[in-house]
Each structure stands twice: as structure tokens, then as C-alpha cells.
Amino acid sequence: MKHHPRSLRTAVVASTLAAIALASACATEITPPEDSGGIAGTGPAAGSGAGGHAGAAVTGGTGGSTGGSAPAGTGGAVGTGGAMGGTGGSTGGAGGTTGGAGGTTGGAGGTTGGTSGGVGGTVGSGGSSKGGASTGGSGAMGGAAMGGRAAGGRGAGGVSSGGAGTGGTSSMAGSSGTGSSGTSSTLDCANVPAMPTGGQTHTSGQGGSDNLAWQIWSNAGSGQLTTFTGVPAFSASWNNSGNYLGRLGFEWGNKPQKFDAFGTISADFAESLTGNSGNQWSYVGMYGWSTNPCIEWYIIDDSFGKMPVNPGNCTNMSNSPLSVDGGQYTMCVRSTSGTGGDRCGGAAQWNQYYSIRHDNRKCGTISVTEHFKAWAAAGNDLGTLLEVKVLLEVGGGQGTANFAVANVSKTM
């Protein structure tokens, strides 16, 4: 075929223009759709442990001249309790300059509950678009301990920063209830100790020291008192002894004082009676003398007869009865000349103070000071104390009284 020069030039020019167009097309940047934000940069693996380390910045995909708005990337899944933080999700980089991947941090869980999952890094922002922040899942709860919440970081366009993970709060043991413990006697009336064996038998006089001071007295017939070394216990026996008294406790005859100078006085007692009082009076309880004025005093908790006993010609105090130690006591005053003397240096007449329980009691604690206070409140001065002792007194008959416990105490 014959070629024409003009036609050839035309073909060459067309070919050249096509080549240029093709080259230009290859050099033009492809702009991704607005919702994809270009090719996402990949963040590094999540930090582990409490707090974690920040992820390093990663260069985003090749962006167009202006990146579209990108939706927030999805954080990584929450790790299960007990495991370390989960791996952060990939960040969706926006078109434009480099978008950093937020470092993921797995907060340490509570002591019992296990750790909370790591949080995915947040989307870096490209151009004017800003990545949304991801929120870490709450830690697992185990028993009473709650795992902490790990907060993911926010990645800013061009600069990535790993969020600081917040460690879980430690578990706290439940507080013990607290309770107030009540004051009580050491005496257990359901388990009274057995009577000691051996001992020393006395037929008259007095002796001992501290709260083991003893005394026996009678105005006729015979009687005995048995005491035990180092043990606050005694046994009394009588045989037509007339008025018989056996007692054990504190003796302050050489240095008497007002009752409140001795602190709080109380006594534990446990007794058993056999025999009789010859249809005369019988008293089990506390006893003593005081001077200035001369007073003989009684706190009566038991008797061979039915309580309350009647000492005769006794005038009730203005504040009677007294409620104490789980019972009621009639408080009264009577005048007497006695049946065989006194401890006040030869008084011809003196007063007796009584607290008489309304029901028989063979074991328990006697709050002696509470009786003294009640007497004083009614205007009955006790003077200075010579003694405070556990007592057995009978007006006749024959029998035995065993005090497995006769423990008088005082506390300041």
C-alpha cells in the first residue's frame, strides 16, 4: 500500500497524544471514597499489664489531596478476666498526613476479679477529620473484687499516643463486724467448781489476808469453819451454836476507809446448804461492819427459808426496792443492841442496814458497791468500812454450808 506523508504524521501525533494521556492517568492519585479514609495504618500490638506502653506511630495510607471524614475505628475486644489486656484494634487512618495508631493498654483487674480487656487504639485524624475515642470494657468481677476499667488512648493526626491504662481497684475484704463485748462475771453457775479438799479447820477467832481473811463467831454451842490456802472457798458447820457466823473476804480493820476509796466491790458466790437453822433466822450473802457511825450491814441472797426474809422491825429506805443483779432487793434500817457485842469499841446500840433479795439465789455475782450507793442515796451513811465478806449466819439448828466459790474483789 502506498503511504502519504501527511497521513503518517497524523498517525504519529495521535499515538504520541495517547501515550501522554496514558502516562498522565497513571500519575494521578486515586481518591478513595469518603467513608474509607484511604488505606488504614496498622497499629502495633497492645501494651500488657497495668498501664501498658504507648503504641508507636505508623504511617497512614497514601492520601489524596484532602482526606474525607473517617468514622471511629473499632477497639479490640475486651480480654477475659484473669488474662492480660487484649490486642488493640487497627486504627482507620484518614487520608492526608500520617495518622498514628493509639497504643492499647490493658488495665490490671482487681485482685480477685481478673484483668479487664485491653482497649483498641483510636482512629488517627487526617486533615481536619478526627478519630473517635474507643472505650475499654469494664473489668471482670470475681467474688467481691471488681476489675478495673482500661481507657484507650486518642490518636491525633500525625502524632500517635497510647492511652494510659488504668489499673483495676484492688479487692477489699469485708470489715468485721464489729461488736461490743459485755462485762460479765467469770463465774459460770452452770459449771460450779467442786469443793476443794483438805484445808484448815477453825473453831474460833480470825486470820488470813487480802480477800482470804476469815472469821468465825458464835455465842453458844460449837461450830467450825474450814478454809483453803490460796482458794476463795470455805465450809461452815454448826451444831446448836446459838448465833453462828462464818465468813471470808476482805478485812480492813487496821485501815478503814469510805467505801468508794476501795473502788468497785463485788463478789462471786456459789453455795449449797444442808441441815437447818432450828426455825431461827438464816442468812447467806454479804456482811460487814463500819465505824463512824457504827453500822452492821447485810446483803442477803439466800436462806433456809423462803425469800425475802424478815429481820423484824426494819424500816424501808425511801428508795427501796433496789433493782440490781437480775433481781429486786428490799432496803431497810433497824436498830439493835446485838446478841454478843460489836466491832465499834463497845457500842450499846447501833443500826443495821439490810438489802434483802426477793427470791432465793444460790449462785451469782453480788454488786456490793451498788448497794452501798443506794443506801447513801437514801441518807444512810455507811461510815468507814472495816470488812466486806461472804457470809453464812444461822440462829440455831445444825447443818453445813459449802461455798465452792466465795470470791470478793475490788477494782479501781
| Beta carbons of 410 and 372 less than 8 angstroms apart | no
Three-class SS of 46-94: CCCCCCCCCCCCCCCCCCCCCCCCCCCCCCCCCCCCCCCCCCCCCCCCC
Q: pLDDT by residue (tens digit) across 313-354?
A: 999 999 999 999 999 999 999 999 887 778 998 888 999 999
In-domain check, residue 391: yes
In-domain check, residue 186: no
Distance in angstroms (rounded) separating the CA atoms of residues 136 and 198:
82
29 is catalytic: no
In-domain check, residue 342: yes
Active-site position among 271, 296, 370, 387: 296
Beta bridge partners of 284: 302, 392
Q: What is the mean pLDDT of residues 247-257?
A: 95
Give the chain's mean pLDDT: 69
| Residue 271 exposed, middle or buried by CB count within 10 Å (0-12, 13-18, 19+) | buried
In the chain, what percentage of residues exceed pLDDT 90? 50
Q: pLDDT by residue (tens digit) across 69-92?
A: 434 334 334 334 333 333 433 333
In-domain check, residue 362: yes
Domain CATH for 380: 2.60.120.180
Distance in angstroms (rounded) separating the CA atoms of residues 370 and 300:
14
- CA dihedral angle for residue 43, residue 45, residue 48, residue 50, rounded to 10 degrees: 10
| Beta carbons of 64 and 179 less than 8 angstroms apart | no
In-domain check, residue 267: yes
Specify the pairing of strand 264-275 against strand 282-291. Answer: unpaired
393 is catalytic: yes
pLDDT at position 185: 67
Q: What is the mean pLDDT of residues 14-42?
A: 36
Place of cell 454450808: 401
In-domain check, residue 279: yes
In-domain check, residue 293: yes
- Ramachandran category for residue 35: left, alpha or beta (phi over 0 → left; psi -120 to 50 → alpha): alpha
pLDDT at position 162: 37
In-domain check, residue 351: yes
- Domain extent, residue 300, equals 204-411
Q: What is the mean pLDDT of residues 166-189?
A: 45
- Cell for 73? 475505628
State the total domains in the chain.
Answer: 1
Residue 370 pLDDT exceeds 80: yes
Active-site position among 251, 370, 387, 393: 393
